[in-house]
Chains A and B, each alone.
Chain A
Amino acid sequence: MSKESKNGTPAGSGKNGRGDKNPVLAVDIGGIFMKNPVTVASGTFGFGPEYAPYVDLNRLGAVVVKGITLRPRPGNLPPRIVETPAGMLNAIGLQNPGVDHLVTEILPYFKQFDVPVIVNIAGETVEEYASLAGKLDRVAGIAGLEVNISCPNVKKGGMQFGSDPLTAAEVVRAVRAATGLPLVVKLSPNVTSITAVAAGVAEAGADALSLINTILGMAIDVKRRRPVLGTVTGGLSGPAVRPVAVRMVWQVYKEVKLPIVGMGGIMSAADALEFILAGAAAVAVGTANFVNPRATMDVLEGIEAYLVENGVRDINKLVGAAHG
């Protein structure tokens, strides 16, 4: 408690540039209650234990696990990664042990923590998305589903579902019918109009949106005169994509009234605040985890310090604040 509030002045009034020492950080992402707005981007944080030596998982707003499919997937032929200017291309191809393994072997790990777990799901057909959601519907320890309709690295499904507002809505309707869990729908940036897709999935029953997934790109090895990645193209992530991601969050916030989880190149609290000011109610740290395994904590602590310094009592007051 700050001195001001003891004296009866509202805490965090910001009059002298100093606010409440404990600003409100909690956010509600379509029914997923997060104690703070900082989570991780699917596929960059493994299933959680990988980063436990560096991060107290209890301090995260939520953990989003690696994308899961109905059956195990071996993933793409290597090489699967190439560094690019201030970023990287990946073509993992959704390598994962399948949903049954997730339920029996991975989710129990989280019993020791007090953190919402969001399961990222991907399918090759609308039916697959629905049966995945159905399988996870009554599984204990899941706070919500993130529906990945935007993976650029799989031959069938993935981004195809996210690039057309009607197909995107069809997937979401099917998933909605199969589960009562909160649904965060993850949008692809590889579209002409992200607001059209966002509006489509909102209409179909999404509770929240997350954006952006990686941007389709490629790199060529000039010595070998061949594409670097085994799959030719891959998904671009890291600081290089941030301006694109911020722009898309800005646009979607204006058009669609659903909570947004913003991501794309967030390395620091200042980066995260850009997303929040553009309209994201929560932020996900992705590629930055590889560079700085404590990036989530740095972002969280930096946001908290910003709120205190600027006399903002509640993070929710900043969401979309740049729109004026």
Chain B
Amino acid sequence: MSVLAEARILKQEEVAPGCHRMLLQAPEAAGRAAPGQFMHVRCGSSADPLLRRPLSVHDVDRGKGTLTLLYRAAGRGTALLAGLGPGAGISLMGPLGRGFSLPAGAGLRVALAAGGIGVAPLYFLLKELVSRDFFVYVLVGAQTAEDLLCGDDFKLLGSRTSFATDDGSCGHKGPVTDLLESLLASGGVDLVYACGPPPMLKRVAGLLTGTGVPGEISLERHMGCGVGACLSCVCKVRSGAYRRVCADGPVFPVEEVVWE
């Protein structure tokens, strides 16, 4: 169950241009969070900007009671967060939403595909998968080498990590979905998880269609409440109905999502 709490910032650093990692003392949320869930974060205490910002749980340390967010300073709210230093307190709601479903079977080969800041929820997922002895391929994409996030962290966890950049400054030149395409063609993948910008996720959906390989993707929508009450954040699913990204997602089976 979600909690509302004031969390203290223990550490904050810029890990790539415009991307920040914030370590928070948030024992209750850290204890409850599952990979793919998000925190609804207040960016200050003023009425402007008014709404909370949804940010994925990037990592937790249950022993220490800490929770990490990894975010891009994309606009006013996240810029305010980026300006906060150790000791400052922020209001957190969460963990919220339905995260990734973790496979039951043993020995599965899993691919994680991250585009840009989409690595944020996948790192937590990878830790969970590795602890359950799955074989994991991690595919990380970004615009340039210096924008690549968490590459070393992924390698440290013992996964097979490959990179793709738009300008070819690191790894494959082209979208990260090219890497997924080759991997799928080799027949070596039983399950795919992806997070990234909409065009990337749409491509992932296209690649998986007809392969029989199941996949889950994490979606982004502008949110009000974050708890399923306001119906602001909907996405259309196969049945034609609107589902709430905050409460029915943010993670959906890839074939459920209708691309409009």
By a beta-carbon cutoff of 8 Å, the part of chain A in contact with chain B is 43-46, 50-51, 53-54, 66, 74-75, 77-83, 85-88, 90, 92, 95, 238-239, 267, 287, 289-294
Q: Which of B46-54, B99-107, B196-204 forms contacts with chain A?
A: B46-54
CA distance A77 to B4 in the complex (A): 31
Q: Which of B3, B93, B231, B234 has the most CB of A within 10 A?
A: B231
List CB contacts (< 8 Å) of B230-260 with chain A.
230-235, 240-242, 247, 260
B223:A88 contact, CB within 8 angstroms: no
**CB within 8 Å for A90 and B234 given contacts A44-B225, A290-B51:** no
List CB contacts (< 8 Å) of B169-225 with chain A.
221-225
Task: List residues of chain B with CB within 8 A of the CB of A85.
Answer: 48
**CB within 8 Å for A290 and B47 given contacts A53-B2, A78-B234, A78-B235:** no
A290:B226 contact, CB within 8 angstroms: yes
CA distance A201 to B187 in the complex (A): 69
Task: List residues of chain A with CB within 8 A of the CB of B93.
Answer: 293
**CB within 8 Å for A90 and B225 given contacts A53-B2, A74-B242:** no
List CB contacts (< 8 Å) of B1-29 with chain A.
1-4
Q: Which of B50, B241, B260 has the most CB of A within 10 A?
A: B50
A95:B4 contact, CB within 8 angstroms: no
Partner of A46, one of B47, B230, B234: B230
Provide 6 A-B residue pairs closer than 8 Å at the C-beta atoms, listed in order of the A residue.
A53-B1, A53-B227, A78-B242, A82-B222, A289-B225, A292-B4
Q: Write the chain A residue with the least CB distance to B2.
A: A53
Q: Which of B48, B222, B229 has the most CB of A within 10 A?
A: B229
CA distance A83 to B223 in the complex (A): 9
Task: List residues of chain B with CB within 8 A of the CB of A290.
Answer: 51-52, 224-226, 229-230
Partner of B3, one of A53, A90, A289, A291: A53
Is B42 in contact with chain A by the CB < 8 A criterion?
Answer: yes
Partner of B49, one of A51, A54, A83, A293: A83
Task: List residues of chain A with CB within 8 A of the CB of B234.
Answer: 75, 78, 80, 95
Give, as a whole number of angstroms, the nearest-CB distance from A8 to chain B. Answer: 44
A50:B224 contact, CB within 8 angstroms: no
Give, as a whole number of angstroms, the nearest-CB distance from A113 to chain B. Answer: 17
CA distance A86 to B224 in the complex (A): 13
CA distance A287 to B223 in the complex (A): 12
Task: List residues of chain B with CB within 8 A of the CB of A82.
Answer: 222
Task: List residues of chain A with CB within 8 A of the CB of B49.
Answer: 83
Is B118 in contact with chain A by the CB < 8 A criterion?
Answer: no
